[in-house]
Structures are given as C-alpha cells and as structure tokens.
Amino acid sequence: MAPPPGYVITPSDKQPIRSVNDTAEFRRNYGANEFMGALYALDSKFTGQNVKVAVIDDGVVNVNGELDGRIDMNLSKDFGYLIAADGTRTKRNELGSSTSDHGTAVANVLAAAANGRGTIGYAPNATIVALRVADWDEKTQAEQLWHTDEAILYAANNGIKIVSSSLVGGSANWTAATTRLGATGGLLVNSAGNFGAANPYNAEWVNDENRKAVLFVVALSPALNSYQIESYSNKAGTMKDRTVAAIGSNVTTKVDGSIGVFSGTSSATPSVAALAADILSKWPQLTGQQAGDVILSTAKDLGAPGSDEIYGMGLVDFKAALAPINPKLSNGTTQSSVQTSVMSVPTAMGAGSLQTALSNVTVLDDFGRDYTGSVAGMVIKPQLAADRRIERRVRQMNSHADVSFGGFSGSFGYATNRFGPGADQVRTEAMAGSMAFVHGQDGFHAAWNSSDSLQSDVMGLAPFADGVLAYVPQADTSFGYDRYMAGGKLGLMMSSGRSFGSAANAVTVGWSTSHTDMRISYIDESGSIMGMPTGKGALRLGRGARTMMIEAHHSFGIAEGWNLESYGSLGITRLKIDAASLVTGSTGILGSRLGFQATGQMLGGLLSFGVAQPLSIESGSAKLTYGTGYDLTNQSLVYRTTKASLAGERRLQLTTGYSTGGVRSSFRIGMMQDIANGSTSALAGWNAHF
C-alpha cells in the first residue's frame, strides 16, 4: 500500500545529524531504523539494559565484540547433539560455531553494541540468553532443528520474559511449552514464516491457553517509498490480533565478521523482541506479555483499518510504544488524564510556586508505566477579569431609556443588531438595567450589569471598586433592601451571576453615610475562584471558593469642584477542594485591594485620575499531593505532599478618564496603565440621545 500523501524518507546521505546517536554506524541500517522510529529508543536511553532475551536458534557467536559481556553464560544452553554418520548421538556443549550463521545474525539485529565496529541492534544493551537448538548431522552436513519446544520450556522455567524465535515448526510439545511460558507472563516473539502463506506457520498450534503468550511477526519490504509486505512472508491471517509487521531486511554483523543484509521474517522478528526488551528496560514491573500488549496497541495501522489478515495490527513503532499512552496524574486516591488537566490561576494569585512544585511529577499510563516530567506548562493565568470590565462598559454604552416617577427610578439599556440583509433580520437584546424605589424609610433597588460604585469608573478599565465585583465579576445581578435611619442607612444586598460555566452568589450587609460605606460580604463561588474558571481534571485548583470580606469606601472634597474617593478591602478565601485534584487542601488565602480616585470639573467636562492596587493575594498556600517516583517493590507511585504559596505580586495601575456632553450626546474616554507589565489600554465611547 502507498504511504500517506507527502510521506517521504530522506536518503541517509542527505539527512542531517539529529542526535549523538545518529551515527554512521546507526545509518548502516538507516531504512529499517527510520521505518520503525528506532532512533527514539536510543535518544531516550531505552536500550534493553538489565533485560534478558532468549534467542532460540542455531547458536550465537560473539563476532567483532558486538556482544561483549552480554551473553549470559550461566543461562545460555546448547540443547543440540552431534550425529555421526552411523547415527550415534553425542551431546554437544557449544553455544555457537561457524555454522551458527542464522542465530548470530538474529542476535546482532537484536542486540549488537553501539561500539562503532559494525551495526547497532535495536536493544544494544540487552543480554542474550543463547539457546542453541540445532543438531548437526555429519552425514548430510546439515542442521536439524529439533529442540525448540525444550528451549521455550527452559526459558519459561527460568523466568525469562522475552523469547525470540526466528524458527518455525510446531507440535503438541510446542503448544505445551508456550502455554507454560504464558503462565509465567513470558512472551514468545515468533517469525511468521517465509512461505507466502495466508497464516503464520505455527498458527495451528496456538489455542486459547497460549494465545496471549505468542506474538507473530510478518516482514515488510525495506523500500523507502511504500509499505509493502514481502512476497515471501506469511501473512497475519487468523492471528491478525497477535501479529505485527517489521522490516524484513536489516544490515547486521554476520558470523564471518562481515557486515551485510540479513533478510526474512527471521530478520524482522528480533527487532520486535528488541522493542519488548527496550520497554522492559525502563519498566521492569511489566510482564513480557504486557510489553507485547504495548507493541500491539501502538503499531502503525496498515492495510484495512484495524487488525487485518495481511499486516495484523500494523508496523511496530518504537516511539509510539515507548512514549506514554494516556498518562494519568494521581493524588493517591483518584486518577485523571494529563491530556484533560489544566490549572487556571486567578490574576490575583501567584503561579510560580505552583509551577515549581509541578515541574517534577511522576505519572502512570494505561499500561502502568511510570514517567517523570513537568506539567508546569499546564498552569496558566488567563486575563479574564480585565476583559469582563471592558465588556461590562461596552454593554452599558448601548441605547438606554430612563424613567422616573414618584419614588421610582429606573434605567434600561438595549442594543439592536442586524444579523442578515432581510428587513426582519434584526435582533434587539437587553444589555443592562437598574431600578430603585424609596418609600418612607424603606428603599429597594435591583441592577443587572450596572455601573461600579465609583463616581467615574474610567470606561471599565480601572479595577472594580465594589468588593464583590472585584472577587466575582460575574455576580452582576443584584437586589437589595435599605433601611434609612438618622445619619445613614442600613442595607442588605444579594448578588449573583453566571459566566464561563461558573456561578457566584454573595450576601452583603452594609452601613452607609453621605460620604462613607462600610460593608461585610460573604461570597460563594462554584466553578471559579476569584472569578476565574478553576481548570480541569487533576490540576483543577478547586471546585470553587468561599470568601469573607470587609471593605470601606470613603469620599470627600479636596478642592473647589474636586472630590477624592478611596476604597479598600481585606478578605479571607478558602478553596473548595476537588477530590480528583492534586490540590488536596489549602490554608486561608488573604487578599487585599486599595484604590484612590480624584474627580473634578475641568476642560468643560469631568476629569478623573486614579491609582489602584487591584485584588492581590498577600498570603496563603495550596497543599499538593502528587507522585514523585515509582516503587518497584510495591509497584506503586511514591507520593509527596508539599505546600505551594499562592501569594501574588503586588500590582499598581494608573488611570485617567474624561467625560463631557449635553442633552443630545455625550463623550467618554478612559486610559489605564499597568505599571507591572508596562501595558496601556484605552477605550472611548460616544452616545447620542433621541
């Protein structure tokens, strides 16, 4: 089949060096390495270290030092005999000889060292357990491969997890041996055969008991411009769910010391066994069969979608098999996918301590494999609060109607928008509104998307002076009752609102005089913290928050026609903890705000200057519980609990605004400069009155 459109493998002599492992030795087998992404294993240091792979073949010889120190002399065994011309059988005890041309090539495809002498195996640090199964017939000068069943059983009884066999031929004994191997968690990686048949040669000896213990390998052409099964290769057939494809021609070191091409399903098989060894070198907690499951599930799909009778599950992919598959973050109780996790930190809080804590986290993937890395990049600080202030002002700038009679006054804002050319394709929407009613000592008021409490809110660019809006700008619908008394009024107000999937409710009790307001508020949020969405999954900062806040607002004259307003608040916030999050607790979070604004008559209009410290977290911390390592003995994550400060940097914002107008029209402009980041914002509006 043709590769995907645009898929090209650059010839080796034109490919730039990509890493220290992309050596001339690596490039001797360039095509096969590129097809299967083998460089990723070398770069990631997944090279089969500390893993024993049994090679069942006609023997293994260490040629040119390619297997120096990596043939297990204690476990390796010669099962064969020398058969004299008269039929006399003599037990042989030699792991390899000049006749071991097949097994030596197989072993070097699997594990040849990165030593600059020849070629690099797909698991260059794996240890070979050479299981020689060939008898030598002196009369015919030929090998007879009689002992495969014994070798498989031997590997099973010695706890070897990966067995590579590039030999075919089965029997009831083969079935029993692979069943025993399966019972230990071991995996037999077996060549499909070079007979061009519809099924792997040994398929008839596979049953329900040993099926999970066998992984067959078919051979692909090494041609760089297509995915094509070799004509000689048996196909996946009835074993399509237990078969993968690998490149059938590899440049390797041969028994005579030469470097050349070794082809067949025999050549494809050790590359798959090597990948299993690479997996186990990093994750020894897995069984051989689990390593096989990883290989099957990450193979690159070829042919018909899903498993098919030709390619089985597809081409083995080293990178896909060694990279995490749906990694999950855990707090020791629950797990959540990394891909669906993000932490959204309110502007008022600091994110640095959280990012530092989350820069070294251990996660598990779907196969129980542990990976350690950073998720600090998933901690973000969206700037939604400023956007909401500007949106609020834009909504207030639309058409409005005012009405008053008796003790009632009200204002209603609306906008008419065209969404098509037709006469009826016009939509009118309510944008803002407020009303107040006073009767004797009792007053009632309600508002939706109403103005802030400052005399001039600088077009919505200045921080909110109203404490509730500073914490939860989405709570823009309010209803209140005031009781007028001598010297002032006692008020009770309820505020609520929804935005971005969050909800906020607040109750405020206050005492007001002509120049001073004192208020205490209780704020409850769900789905947000200080007006900011809390994130998702295991990194969610919380389900919401509860805040107790006290604030004051005072105004007084400072010169003829000029007035100075000041406000400030202190609040204590506690997070609502999400059981699925790494944030498993928090202290009380102290927040403060402060602002001053001077407003007066100048230049034929109303001019204002202000300075403010927006809501900022002074102190408080979140408790984080997350994995920081893996315990092989218990096969579980090692958890750490730490505190991360939520204190934010103190910010300073300067504002100026101007408004002028008459009966028929009005004009307003506002500007704000954030001293912390040097940014400047401006907004202007003009209203016509009809």
Give the 3-state secondary structure of 415-428: EEEECCCCCCCEEE
Specify whether 264 is located in the same domain as 392.
no
Specify whether 297 is located in the same domain as 152.
yes
pLDDT at 672 over 90: no
Place of tokens 């109403």: 450
Residue 57 annotated as catalytic: yes
Q: What is the pLDDT of residue 267?
A: 98
Specify whether 308 is located in the same domain as 427.
no
In a domain, 504, yes or no: yes
482, 471 contact by CB (below 8 A): no
Supply the CATH number for residue 164's domain. 3.40.50.200
CA distance 497 to 515: 29
Q: What is the pLDDT of residue 690?
A: 58
420, 457 contact by CB (below 8 A): no
Bridge partners (DSSP) of residue 442 are 439, 483
Question: 78, 100, 102, 681: which one is catalytic?
Answer: 102
Specify whether 32 is located in the same domain as 163.
yes
Q: What is the pLDDT of residue 678?
A: 85
SS (H, E, C) 501-551: CEEEEEEEEEEECCCEEEEEEEEEEECEECCEECEEHHHCCCCEEEEEEEE
The boundaries of the domain holding residue 158 are 26-322
Helix (H), strand (E) counts: the chain: 12, 40
Q: CA quadruple 224, 229, 231, 234: dihedral positive or negative?
A: positive
Specify whether 158 is located in the same domain as 266.
yes
In a domain, 448, yes or no: yes
Give the total number of structural domains in the chain. 2
Among 271, 295, 322, the domain boundary falls at 322
pLDDT at 17 over 80: no
Question: 164, 166, 233, 266: which one is catalytic?
Answer: 266
Among 272, 297, 322, the domain boundary falls at 322
pLDDT at 50 over 60: yes
CA distance 216 to 196: 14
Residue 528: CB atoms within 10 A of its CB come to 28
Among 322, 339, 361, the domain boundary falls at 322
pLDDT at 451 over 70: no
Q: CA quadruple 121, 126, 127, 130: dihedral positive or negative?
A: negative
pLDDT band per the 50, 70, 90 thresholds, residue 259: very high
Residue 689 annotated as catalytic: no
φ and ψ at residue 131, rounded to 5 degrees: -115, 100
Q: What is the pLDDT of residue 415?
A: 61
Specify whether 297 is located in the same domain as 444.
no
**0.75 surpassed by pTM:** yes
pLDDT band per the 50, 70, 90 thresholds, residue 417: low
Specify whether 587 is located in the same domain as 438.
yes
Closest by CA position to 152, among listed 183, 177, 179, 185? 177
Task: Calculate the CA 581 to chain-centre distance.
Answer: 15
In a domain, 81, yes or no: yes
Nearest-Å Rg of the Cα atoms of the chain is 37
pLDDT at 544 over 80: yes
In a domain, 101, yes or no: yes
Closest by CA position to 303, among listed 295, 293, 311? 311
Q: What is the mean pLDDT of residues 59-67?
A: 97
Q: What is the pLDDT of residue 25?
A: 95
Residue 102 annotated as catalytic: yes
Specify whether 390 is located in the same domain as 298.
no
Q: What is the pLDDT of residue 284?
A: 97
In a domain, 495, yes or no: yes
499's CB contacts (< 8 A; 6+ apart) are 388, 473, 474, 528
Higher confidence at residue 204 or residue 678? 204
Specify whether 298 is located in the same domain as 409.
no
pLDDT band per the 50, 70, 90 thresholds, residue 674: confident
In a domain, 266, yes or no: yes
In a domain, 65, yes or no: yes
Specify whether 280 is located in the same domain as 398.
no
Specify whether 112 is located in the same domain as 209.
yes
In a domain, 46, yes or no: yes
Q: Which residues of 625-641 are buried (b: 16+ CB within 10 A; e: fewer)?
A: bbbeebeeeeebbeebe
Specify whether 300 is located in the same domain as 403.
no
Question: pLDDT tens-digit profile of 367-406?
Answer: 999 999 999 999 998 865 445 555 554 544 455 556 777 7
Question: 57, 308, 457, 482: which one is catalytic?
Answer: 57
Bridge partners (DSSP) of residue 682 are 671
